[in-house]
Amino acid sequence: MSKEVISKIYLILEKIEYIEAIVLNAGTITNALHDLTTYRPAILMHLTSIAEQFDKIRKSSESTLLEHFETEDIKGIYDVRNYIAHDYEGVNLAIIEWIIRHILPKFKEQCSKIIKVDI
């Protein structure tokens, strides 16, 4: 696996850990998402960045790496990225909370497995 692709996996992990830290600082996911000045914008930007890294992997010569992730989860994170980018104020917070609770832990686990295999 190329260093470029591995760096994208590391960046995805880093962004997930940033979101986890934000939630920890806020006390709950709900508290974090209701903070309009700091926590919510940070979470949305990190989710956008995660989607962008997956898209870069998809466009790379090593796109088969995405087979380690569920297709619906990858599609979902792309859709959320587009929603954030094009209708920022109308983002459905229940969907964002669901992603934080259910999708990010799966991404984190798969990214960690990929990195351990590569090392």
The rounded mean pLDDT for the chain is: 93
> Which two three-digit tokens encode residue 21?
């830290």
> Which two three-digit tokens encode residue 33?
């998402």
Q: pTM (2 decimals)?
A: 0.92
Look at residue 118 and tell me whether its pLDDT is greater than 80.
no
For 56-86, what is each residue's pLDDT tens digit?
Answer: 999 998 888 899 999 999 999 999 999 898 8
Q: How many distinct structural domains can be found in the chain?
A: 1
pLDDT at site 119: 46
pLDDT at site 77: 94
The pLDDT confidence band at residue 50, using thresholds 50, 70 and 90, is very high
Look at residue 1 and tell me whether its pLDDT is greater than 80.
no
For 3-21, what is each residue's pLDDT tens digit?
Answer: 889 999 999 999 999 999 9
Is 115 within 8 Å of 9 (Cβ atoms)?
yes
Structural domain harbouring 45: 3-118
Residue 80's closest CA among 103, 96, 100, 101?
96
DSSP letter for 69, please.
S
Question: Computed over its alpha carbons, how large is the radius of gyration of the chain?
Answer: 14
Q: What are phi and psi of 28, to 5 degrees?
A: -150, 165
DSSP letter for 119, please.
-
